[in-house]
Amino acid sequence: MTIKRMLDAGTVATVDDPHLQELLDKQACKDVMMTYCRAIDHRDEELLRSVFHPDSYHRHGFEGPSSAPKKRAKKGEHPDFVSYAMGVLATHHRTHHQLGNLFIDIEKDGKTAYTEAYFTAYHRMRASSDPKAGPNAFDTEMDYWVGGRYMDRMEKRDGVWKIAFRAGMTDWNKLEAPTSRGLDDIKPEHRMQQSRKDMLFHRRRRFKAPS
């Protein structure tokens, strides 16, 4: 999938069959949900902004506009969720978000959907000695796990589904000292990168059989 196609997640065709239309709409909503996770884990601001309508509202760690890039930020504050998220993510070495149960209820108007997505999120927090560590850092790196649900109202505008309102629900969390080992033995190209250096963005060039 090219960057352009990633940014176009949520785009859906219009068909005459109402049952097929509902399936297409649900798949488009799923693509938006999953693109959100991809953007978060790669700290891709452009991709993250692409899943929200300009007037989208947020209640998940931050309350306010989801994506308002033109809004001026006051010192020490964030104008929108995306800005807030980019700041939080920078305090972690890596993250891993995945979705489980997905429920999508398309309203009769065919332009509004209410969704529930179960998620599990892993974060490797930087130690307090790291210049990029957050204010809640510990003396050592820590593993922070969260299980919850993304509750969205999605809207289809001009044939594109995006998030219009998001609330995050926390069902459980766990904080513990890291126990992983051997990650540094894995080649960087085969480890998750919090950027577009990740293998994901270079598959067409790298996925070639040896000559």
State the CB neighbour count (10 A cutoff) for residue 143.
15
Return the residue matching tokens 């957050």.
134
d(CA 8, CA 47): 9
Provide the CA 56 distance to its chain's centre, in angstroms: 15
Q: How confident is the model at residue 173 (pLDDT cuts 50, 70, 90)?
A: very high
> pLDDT at position 170, please?
95
For the entire predicted model, the pTM comes to 0.86
d(CA 152, CA 162): 10
Residue type, 172: W
Asked if residue 65 lies in contact with residue 72, where contact means CB atoms within 8 angstroms, the answer is no
Domain ranges of the chain: 3-206
The torsion angles phi and psi of 145, rounded to 5 degrees, stand at -115, 140
Q: Does residue 1 carry a pLDDT above 60?
A: no
Return the residue matching tokens 């990029």.
132
d(CA 125, CA 133): 7
How do residues 111-142 score in pLDDT, each as one tens digit? 999 999 999 999 999 999 989 999 999 999 99
Q: Does residue 73 carry a pLDDT above 70?
A: no
**23-27, 47-51, 72-76: lowest mean pLDDT where?**
72-76
Return the residue matching tokens 């065709």.
13
Q: Does residue 96 carry a pLDDT above 90?
A: yes
Q: Does residue 46 carry a pLDDT above 90?
A: yes
Class of domain 3-206: alpha beta
For residues 9 and 50, the model is more confident at 50
> pLDDT at position 161, please?
98
Residue type, 201: F
CA distances from 154 to 18, 68, 150 (A): 19, 17, 12
H/E element holding 3? Answer: helix 3-7
208: Cβ–Cβ under 8 A, 6 or more apart, which residues? none
d(CA 57, CA 65): 5
